[in-house]
Homo-oligomer: A and B are copies of this chain.
Amino acid sequence: MDADTKKTALRMIPYGIYVLTVADKNGAIAASTVNWVTQSAFSPPLVVVGVKADSATYAQVKETGRFALNMLGKGQQGIAFSLFKPAQVEEGKISGEPYRAGSTGQPLLENAFAAVECKVTDIVERGDHHVIVAEVVDAHVGQALEGRPDSTILEMKDLGDNVFYGG
């Protein structure tokens, strides 16, 4: 397999930008910007997220079995880039972003356009990122969206001409 061809083919997959947040039972919070996300079933509503296997966020999701997926909107590049780095939780903010607890106790970024709260059902431990399968148990839309929801989300290609996370 030619490495450049593989990279180009896989980079055709379009991605939105999300902040995965997780609080453990003691309230400790981890958060990371992620993009490898898809729905995988309507009934029950399932989502799949690929998460870096050696990250603090992954370890906490695996232990807690819960997380929230915060959908960023157009113009929120700053939040995406700040959460490429390990999250700093202080003064009631996650890396400077205000949040509140959702119905399941998971952190919801106040400025995200939408969020889903999830319960992990399965993990496939394969590769440098693992596959987390989770049921959506609550959902939030923070502001009225104009037009198609998938036209309002911040996308990978909005982060810069040469920014990719795939290939």
Residues on A lying within 8 angstroms of B by beta carbon are 1-2, 5-6, 8-16, 36-48, 50, 71, 113-116, 121-122, 124, 126-131, 133, 136-141, 145, 148-153, 155-157, 161, 166-167
Name A38's contact: one of B50, B71, B116, B150 (CB within 8 Å).
Answer: B50
Alpha-carbon separation in the docked complex, A127 to B139 (Å): 19
Contact yes or no, A37 B9, CB < 8 A: no
Residues of B within 8 A of A126 (CB): 41, 46, 121-122, 133
The answer to whether A157 and B150 touch (CB under 8 A), given A9-B114, A16-B12, is: yes
Residues of B within 8 A of A128 (CB): 41-43
